[in-house]
Amino acid sequence: MLGIIVAIFIIYLSIKMSLQLKKHKEVFVLHGISSSKIIALQFAALLYILSLVGYILPVSMLDLIRPIPIGFLLLLPGIILGKKLSNAMECIGIDSASRAGRTANNIMWLGIGVGIYISANVILGLMIGSIGSNNSF
């Protein structure tokens, strides 16, 4: 039950942060960040939802046998681009640029949080599965 609430909260935050980034678009462009990078970061924030849905669907069981599940690869663009844009905006020193940088930084941390959430669920699922198989006679 708590996992479903967390998943809904992650979906809500992904959409909210993507829309917040749109509000700061003028500030990013004013300070030399191309609008294509901003659109890419907005799209990357929405990929977090796809990663989460991919984990929830039964197809994600196939990801357990691969070294890097595909859902984690969907998190990387948002984390990397969010960090780059955040660092670029924090160096400017203007309040509006700093707020825009914090929004990009929040998108990066949301991606890291989604990765931790999915990893914890996979590890707990494997632990519970191995405990159940050891007790059977």
pLDDT digits (tens, 9 = 90+) for 22-50: 888 888 888 888 889 999 999 999 999 98
Structure confidence by residue, pLDDT tens digits, 58-72: 655 555 555 457 778
Banded model confidence at residue 137, pLDDT cuts 50, 70, 90? very low
- Cβ(3)–Cβ(121) below 8 Å: yes
Q: What are phi and psi of 94, to 5 degrees?
A: -95, 145
Q: How far is CA 82 from CA 37, 42, 56, 61, in A?
A: 10, 10, 25, 29
Model-level pTM?
0.82
Q: What is the pLDDT of residue 94?
A: 81
Banded model confidence at residue 133, pLDDT cuts 50, 70, 90? low
Structure confidence by residue, pLDDT tens digits, 80-121: 999 999 988 888 878 888 888 899 999 999 999 999 988 888
Kindly write down the DSSP assignment for every residue of the chain, as one continuous string. -HHHHHHHHHHHHHHHHHHHHHHTHHHHHHTT--HHHHHHHHHHHHHHHHHHHHHHSGGGGGGGGSSS-HHHHHHHHHHHHHHHHHHHHHTT--HHHHHHHHHHHHHHHHHHHHHHHHHHHHHHHHHHHHHHHHS--
Banded model confidence at residue 136, pLDDT cuts 50, 70, 90? very low
- Cβ(59)–Cβ(79) below 8 Å: no
Q: What is the pLDDT of residue 40?
A: 93
Percent of the chain with pLDDT over 70: 84
In whole angstroms, give the CA distance from residue 75 to residue 69.
Answer: 11
Q: Is the pLDDT of residue 3 over 90?
A: no
